[in-house]
Chain A
Amino acid sequence: GEDVEQSLFLSVREGDSSVINCTYTDSSSTYLYWYKQEPGAGLQLLTYIFSNMDMKQDQRLTVLLNKKDKHLSLRIADTQTGDSAIYFCAETLKAAGNKLTFGGGTRVLVKP
């Protein structure tokens, strides 16, 4: 079945790296995503990775996918105060078209 899990909270100092983790249960994922949500706002697509890839880098963002352990991570280099937000990982499955299944979100707090 579908289940996407994330840790609830992460605190990090400005300038450090942040690593947000996510686990999923369905091995038929096609794409995996990271979305950012700031207070009172909708979801912003940060990055995505196709399920046959292991890693993707996009400026300060690095996505790592471990298919064996069904583990996805997002690393943010040189974290800034503007990175404070809730981060959601999500997946789409082969059998479910492009329906997104989200985790519960990780609240990231960046301290100066």
Chain B
Amino acid sequence: ETGVTQSPTHLIKTRGQQVTLRCSSQSGHNTVSWYQQALGQGPQFIFQYYREEENGRGNFPPRFSGLQFPNYSSELNVNALELDDSALYLCASSLVGDSWKQYFGPGTRLTVT
């Protein structure tokens, strides 16, 4: 049990729609990262937030955006969904002073039809 929760568990959307995925971290975990895991592959880094500001981004287009809130929760927003966005989306948080150790949530399975 990592103390990181994500909602919803599963989601089905249509191409072109927008989606918001949510993550809730433990108290004190002020760094949150989001990863996309396509079927049969390893997770790919999307971006990271630290103290409510973006702090690094992977090779994902601007239609992937995020927010981090003072209560250790965060959101991943994806606009103009494409079929290739179908994946498991994982968030990971880390503790102040221990940022190299990331704890993952169970993920949200997004299916785009």
Contacts and interface: CB of A to CB of B under 8 A. Distances in A.
A96 B42 contact: no
Contacts of A101: 45
B104 A104 contact: no
Interface of B: 2, 4, 6, 31, 33, 35, 40-45, 48, 55-56, 58, 90, 92, 94, 99-107
B93 to A, nearest CB: 11
Given A41-B107, A98-B99, 5 more contacts: A42-B107, A43-B92, A44-B104, A88-B42, A99-B58
Given A42-B90, A104-B42, A105-B41, A98 B31 contact: yes
B88 to A, nearest CB: 8
A103 B37 CA distance: 11
B104 A97 contact: no
B27 to A, nearest CB: 19
A45 interface: yes
Interface of A: 4, 30-31, 35, 41-45, 48, 88, 90, 92, 96-105
A41 B35 contact: no
A45 B101 contact: yes
Contacts of A45: 101-104
A90 B56 CA distance: 17
Given A30-B100, A42-B104, A96 B41 contact: no
